[in-house]
Amino acid sequence: MGKIQIFGTSWSTGTDRILVFLSQKNIAFEYVNIEKMDAGDEETIQYGRHYLPTVVFNGKSLNNPENTEIAALFI
């Protein structure tokens, strides 16, 4: 399975929802709190974090996805 990255913020309820969902499903992920990143961070610019949270999996980017959209990545 590929690497899952969640880009979000501490104030985003969508970020909280996704983190809980992945944890409940025992799906490993890397959480990146963009509030703690440097403004010029290459990865943040590459995936354009204008919509939060953003889920990145196998080069595919989903902006503020529903849990069903995340689950579909693993089917």
Confidence of residue 36 (pLDDT cuts 50, 70, 90): confident
Taken in order of first residue, the domains within the chain and their CATH numbers are: 4-72 (3.40.30.10)
User: Strand, helix or coil at 59?
Assistant: coil
* pLDDT for position 44: 54
Q: How many percent of the chain have pLDDT more than 70?
A: 80
Cα separation, 57 vs 62, in Å, equals 8
Confidence of residue 39 (pLDDT cuts 50, 70, 90): low
55: phi then psi, degrees, rounded to nearest 5: -105, 130
Residue 26 CB neighbours (<10 A): 6
Query: Residue 26, CB half-sphere, CA atoms under 13 Å: how many?
Result: 0
> pLDDT, tens digit, for every residue of 9-25?
899 899 999 999 999 99
Tally of residues, the chain: 75
